[in-house]
Structure 1
């Protein structure tokens, strides 16, 4: 006797619409994000150009980019990104400064300082 089993494979929803067939975007379409994070491959691309980012900075940038427009305190970032680290909150400031240098002058403002709170990622409008 055979038993019939139904297997359901759930795929995550597509987060990006398919690219247009022509080389141009339709009018009114949002511009692609300047920072692309691939958490599975642990890669960062800025304007389509891959850059090397050390592990701790990658984790921090990925957390900010994957939670756009949300302000995080330094303590929240430490707990989310480096839960076992016992360093001071200034560690976050140092890594943010390094990330801003890596992003370059045209993109460093994407990581915004929220005075009295911490930091947030502001994608392009």
Structure 2
């Protein structure tokens, strides 16, 4: 569990190893979020041929290069930083505010900027790898590598 102060002065409670199951906004402007532990799905360690399964997206942070299904991509700085942050924390859901604070702490633009950059990253990744960046409706985004 972590408590973080956001740039707007509000506090945010982050519960690690829990995923949002349901989000409801009540007429009183209260938001109810139901959390649960991540589903335990057996992840095979190897493909049927016995070879290790490659990650759909690999990041070389030193060279600032992304590899998606064997293709090398060079992303602009903001898109690279966003993707690298998500890939470093697989299965963890981040709100737009968390992503802004972690990736672009000095940026004062709308948190919808994250939506624009996520769309660009997905477009650059192409079919297949783009599906690893999932939208958690009402919350934000997460990197979820395919089994």
TM range (shorter): 0.7 to 0.9
Q: Give the CA deviation at 1:30.
A: 4.0
- When normalised by structure 2's length, the TM-score is 0.65
- d(CA) in 1 for partners of 2:117 and 2:62? 22
Equivalent residue in structure 2 for 1:114, among 136, 142, 146: 136
Equivalent residue in structure 1 for 2:60, among 27, 32, 38: 38
Matched, 1:54 2:66: no
CA deviation string 1:4-60 (max 9, x = no partner): xxxxxxxxxxxxxxxxxxxx9863x54010111011111111112111200000000
Greater Rg, structure 1 or structure 2?
Answer: 1
Q: More strand by proportion, 1 or 2?
A: 2
The answer for the alignment partner of 2:121 in structure 1 is: 99
Unaligned runs of 5+ in 1: 1-23
Matched, 1:86 2:108: yes
Secondary structure of the corresponding residue to residue 94 of structure 1: helix
Q: Using CA pairs under 8 Å that are at least 6 residues apart, name the structure with larger relative contact order, 1 or 2.
A: 1
- d(CA) in 2 for partners of 1:109 and 1:66? 16
- When normalised by structure 1's length, the TM-score is 0.76
Q: How many residues align?
A: 101
Q: Give the CA deviation at 1:66.
A: 0.6
Unaligned runs of 5+ in 2: 1-46
